[in-house]
Amino acid sequence: MAPIISLKNIARLYKMGNQAFYALNNFNLDIQYNDFVAITGQSGSGKSTLMNILGCLDYPTSGEYKLKERDVAKLDETTLAGIRNLEIGFIFQSFNLLPRSSALQNVMQPLIYRGMPIKERRIKAELALTRVGLKDRIDHLPNQLSGGQRQRVAIARALVTEPAILLADEPTGNLDSATTMEIMALFDELHQDGQTLIIVTHEQEIADRCQRVIRLTDGCLVADSLNPQIEQHYKEQQLIKESANV
């Protein structure tokens, strides 16, 4: 099977006055369906630039980006907006919730752009909130929720569109250690259910929870490795699921 994401010779050049620098240079990466990937690196390594390109929020200066075998590197902004709504669920460090809207209304928001009837939007949003353990918080405003609950709302909002990819930018950066582990446990569950996840993080303990870790330095991919213990764990979980379905 072809990878869900394929980057070939991607470059992103920025110009500042008479100076120019490559945030990414000759970058090659394949991500497979159901991968659970951490993107790591120091500040300035190119993590944010890579995330923006993967999320179809920015264009590469050159190179090929195939998402589900479709070259999206040179599509117009309107087409990219449609791809973002259909294929990519975004999760941010700062949650990005509408402060005067309930959890349910926040999760329903991405479905408005699909022209979906309100009754169907509500059903899907309730299911997504139930999936992240917030069935009893659907009418709460963001300021009535803890940080972990707000991030769960943000995850439900990303899931409600049934995206091919969940793309999370420092999703635990504003959370305490206990809540961080709760959110990572939720990501584990989503991965076991078949979701492809990409997490941009500078926290080693987060990367250690992922199946695969890639590391950037100065816009280049310098390491790409599977976590043997995590990989074995997921293989065992998959065998259990397959046995249960026999």
Contact 191, 234 (CB under 8 A): yes
Give the pLDDT band (50/70/90) at residue 62. Answer: very high
Phi, psi of 46 (to 5 degrees): 115, 5
Question: How high is the pLDDT of residue 16?
Answer: 83
Q: Read off the pLDDT of each residue in 44-70 and give the average, rounded to a whole number.
A: 94
Average pLDDT of span 93-105 = 94
The pLDDT of residue 133 is above 70: yes
pLDDT of residue 226: 84
pLDDT, position 232: 66
In sequence order, which residues have a C-beta less than 8 Å from that of residue 162 and are 6 or more positions away? none
Q: For residue range 136-172, what is the model confidence (pLDDT) as tens digits? A: 999 999 999 999 999 999 999 999 999 999 999 999 9
In the predicted structure, residue 35 carries a pLDDT above the cut 90: yes
Pick the CATH number of 5-245 from 3.40.140.10, 3.40.50.300, 3.30.930.10, 2.60.40.10: 3.40.50.300
Confidence class for position 18, pLDDT limits 50, 70, 90: confident
Q: Mean pLDDT for the chain?
A: 91
**% of the chain with per-residue pLDDT over 90:** 80
Query: How much of the chain, in percent, has pLDDT values that exceed 70?
Result: 94
Residue 230 confidence (pLDDT) above 70: no
Residues 40, 59 contacting (CB under 8 angstroms): no
Query: Mutual orientation of helices 118-131 and 103-112 as an angle, nearest 10°?
Result: 120
Amino acid (1-letter code) at residue 206: I
Confidence of residue 242 (pLDDT cuts 50, 70, 90): confident
Angle 71-155-104 from CA coordinates, rounded to 5°: 115
Structural domain boundaries in the chain: 5-245
